[in-house]
């Protein structure tokens, strides 16, 4: 809800660039673009093809520049997540160097006043005001040493920007816990801008449907999809499956007549689907969490295996009694639906920070 966003930039030419690590970075840029357009700014977006699709669906006339992504891959086993990420460091560094050079060239051509980078570490330039967006000031792993080292590396890049915007609330009633409120802060100014959601709550009639929202890098997206499809064979109530893949992908075969599937859903359609549903099952990605909280929707969160950020968020929000959560390897549709109903009975709307 853009009226809750604490941002004020007027009459500037602005470049916004979301990271390609799942679609959440692109979706949370939608409310940001909305408010900046209302403040009289000229907006360009730099993104990969899939992220650009998300933005263009919402803003058909927006100027979009093609920018190479980080192309991160997840391991098949969550136990290898950290090591898989470390092995991809050379690829990440290459992407950072590329985007730094790309920005320097594009600024000379288009003359941006402000560059807003959503987690793209190299997208800053001394010729413009450079703003970094992240909810993850603290990077949590399973090891204190890597926590310490990764925060040092993270702050090395963040501190090169002019300002850091955190999409969360500033007080104790926040959504990201230690991730967005670490003990040690960056040396540059940090602003808590509020919860970024592309959705607007509205009065909707519940249709008792179950909604799955799949997202995130492969192969874990497909692994979870396969688990869901197998268990749906024993489920007869209405289901909507949002697969989170490109529009051109072939539809899944042999699903029951009770299942409606979408490769991709526009923000407008997804807004309606979520509010009309009885329960949502989704990853515990931060952008998804912000959307669910904004719509005050009950959900079962299933963190990506080994993705320590999602595992932390799911556990943190479970303890705050905001969302029921279960691990992917223990996911049992019938059992977890019943457990989430029991959880809902003790869940309070007062826990919703919005």
Domain assignment present for residue 67? The answer is yes
Cross-strand bridge partners of residue 46: 65
Q: What is the pTM for the complete model shown?
A: 0.87
Least confident segment among 33-42, 76-85, 180-189, 263-272? 76-85
Q: 255 and 120, same structural domain?
A: no
Q: 32 and 163, same structural domain?
A: yes
Report whether 157 contacts 117 (CB < 8 A): no
Question: What Rg value do the Cα atoms of the chain yield, rounded?
Answer: 20
Residue 252 sits in a domain whose CATH number is 3.40.50.2000
Which tokens in the block code for residue 142?
């399973």
In degrees rounded to 5, what are phi and psi of residue 207?
-110, 10
Starting at the edge strand that comes first in sequence, how are the strands of the sheet with 239-242 ordered? Answer: 259-262, 239-242, 210-213, 279-282, 299-301, 324-325
Report whether 1 contacts 197 (CB < 8 A): yes
CA pair distance 12, 251, nearest whole angstrom: 42
Share of the chain above pLDDT 70, in %: 90
The confidence score (pLDDT) of residue 346 equals: 65
Domain assignment present for residue 11? The answer is yes
The confidence score (pLDDT) of residue 84 equals: 63
Q: 236 and 157, same structural domain?
A: no
Mean pLDDT of 104-130: 94
The overall average pLDDT reported for the chain is 88
Q: 164 and 96, same structural domain?
A: yes
Q: 243 and 133, same structural domain?
A: no
Report whether 243 contacts 262 (CB < 8 A): yes
Is residue 7 exposed (0-12), middle (13-18) or buried (19+ Cβ within 10 Å)? middle
The confidence score (pLDDT) of residue 301 equals: 98
Q: Coil, strand, or helix at residue 228? A: helix
Q: 172 and 241, same structural domain?
A: no
CA 30, 32, 36, 39 torsion: positive or negative? positive
91 Cβ partners below 8 Å, 6+ apart?
Answer: 70, 71, 72
Number of structural domains (the chain) is 2
Domain assignment present for residue 202? The answer is no
Report whether 10 contacts 41 (CB < 8 A): yes
DSSP 227: H
The confidence score (pLDDT) of residue 176 equals: 96
Cross-strand bridge partners of residue 300: 281, 324
* pLDDT tens track for 46-69: 998 888 988 998 999 999 999 987
219 Cβ partners below 8 Å, 6+ apart?
Answer: 73, 74, 76
Q: 113 and 15, same structural domain?
A: yes
Final residue of a structural domain among 132, 160, 192:
192
Q: 147 and 54, same structural domain?
A: yes
Residue 80 has pLDDT above 60, yes or no: no
Q: 322 and 229, same structural domain?
A: yes
Domain assignment present for residue 112? The answer is yes
Final residue of a structural domain among 192, 224, 246:
192
Least confident segment among 75-84, 144-153, 282-291, 339-348? 75-84
Which tokens in the block code for residue 203?
């009065």
The confidence score (pLDDT) of residue 88 equals: 63
Give buried/exposed letters for 215-247 (b at 16+ CB in 10 A, else e).
bbbeebbebbbebbbeebeebeeebbbbbbbee
Q: Which pLDDT band holds residue 153 (cuts at 50, 70, 90)?
A: confident
Q: Find the domain containing 76 and state its range.
A: 2-192
Domain assignment present for residue 203? The answer is no
* pLDDT tens track for 207-232: 878 999 998 778 889 999 999 999 99
Least confident segment among 12-21, 81-90, 253-262, 294-303? 81-90
Q: 216 and 128, same structural domain?
A: no
Q: 280 and 227, same structural domain?
A: yes
The confidence score (pLDDT) of residue 4 equals: 66
The confidence score (pLDDT) of residue 81 equals: 61
Q: 108 and 40, same structural domain?
A: yes
């Amino acid at each position: 809800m853009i009226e809750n966003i604490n941002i004020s930039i007027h009459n500037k030419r602005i470049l916004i660039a979301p990271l390609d690590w799942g679609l959440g970075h692109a979706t949370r840029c939608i409310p940001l673009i909305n408010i900046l357009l209302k403040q009289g700014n000229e907006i360009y977006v730099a993104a990969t093809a899939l992220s650009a699709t998300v933005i263009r669906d919402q803003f058909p006339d927006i100027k979009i520049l093609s920018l190479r992504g980080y192309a991160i891959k997840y391991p098949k086993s969550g136990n290898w997540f950290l090591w898989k990420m470390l092995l991809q460091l050379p690829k990440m560094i290459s992407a950072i160097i590329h985007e730094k050079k790309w920005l320097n060239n594009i600024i000379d051509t288009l003359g941006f006043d402000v560059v807003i980078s959503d987690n793209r570490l190299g997208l800053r330039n001394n010729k413009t005001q450079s703003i970094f967006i992240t909810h993850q000031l603290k990077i949590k792993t399973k090891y204190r040493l890597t926590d310490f080292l990764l925060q040092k590396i993270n702050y090395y890049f963040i501190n090169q920007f002019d300002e850091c915007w955190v999409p969360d609330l500033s007080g104790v009633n926040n959504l990201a816990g230690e991730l967005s409120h670490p003990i040690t802060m960056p040396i540059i100014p940090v602003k808590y801008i509020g919860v970024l959601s592309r959705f607007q709550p509205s009065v909707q009639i519940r249709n008792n449907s179950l909604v799955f929202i799949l997202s995130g890098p492969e192969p874990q997206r497909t692994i979870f999809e396969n688990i869901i499809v197998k268990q749906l064979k024993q489920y007869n109530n209405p289901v909507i499956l949002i697969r989170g893949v490109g529009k051109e992908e072939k539809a899944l075969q042999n699903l029951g007549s009770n299942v409606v599937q979408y490769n991709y859903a526009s923000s407008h359609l997804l807004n309606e689907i979520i509010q009309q549903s009885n329960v949502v099952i989704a990853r515990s990605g931060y952008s998804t969490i912000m959307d669910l909280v904004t719509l005050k929707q009950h959900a079962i969160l299933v963190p990506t295996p080994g993705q320590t950020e999602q595992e932390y968020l799911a556990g943190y929000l479970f303890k705050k009694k905001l969302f029921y959560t279960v691990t992917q390897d223990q996911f049992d549709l019938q059992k977890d639906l019943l457990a989430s109903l029991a959880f809902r009975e003790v869940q309070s709307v007062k826990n919703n920070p919005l």
